[in-house]
Amino acid sequence: MIRNIPILILVVAALSGADSATSVRTAEHYRWGDCCDGWYLVKNDHINVIQEKMPPGSSETRHLHHKAQQFFYVLAGEAALEIDGRLVVLHEREGALVQPGSAHRMQNMSRRNLEILVTSEPPSHGDREDAPALK
C-alpha cells in the first residue's frame, strides 16, 4: 500500500526518472572506510541517493561540503549524527538535514547494523573537505 511507503522513497522515484525499480541488488555498489557499503539508488548530475550499511562501531571521518546539502534517513538501527558539535540520535524512520558548510560525522554506536539513506543535492562527491576532530 502506498501509504506505508515513506514520502522520501516516492520523491526519489520521481526524481530518478527511472522506469524500473532499483535496489541494493541492482544498484552500483562501493565500499568505504574499512567495512561500510554503499549503493547508488539514484546517481545523476543533480542528486544522489545512496543506501548505506554501517556495521556496529563504524563511523565516517568528520567532514563538510561547501555546496551539497545532505539528508540522512534511518531505515534500520540507530544513528549518531554529529552536526557542528551537536549530537543528534536518529532512530528508525527519523532523519536530519545537514546544511552546506556544516561539519558532520555519521556514526553507528549501536550493537546492530545501521542502514541509512543519504540524499545529497547537488551530489557531494568532489565537494568534501575534512573537518577538524572535536576535542
Contact 101, 64 (CB under 8 A): yes
pLDDT at 95: 98
* Percentage of the residues of the chain whose pLDDT score is greater than 90: 81
Parse the chain into domains and list their residue ranges: 2-130
User: DSSP of 14-28, one letter per residue?
Assistant: HHH--SS---TTTSE
Asked if residues 121 and 69 have their Cβ atoms less than 8 Å apart, the reply is yes
Q: At the fourth CATH level, which superfamily is domain 2-130? A: Jelly Rolls (2.60.120.10)
Question: Given this model, what pLDDT does residue 122 score?
Answer: 97
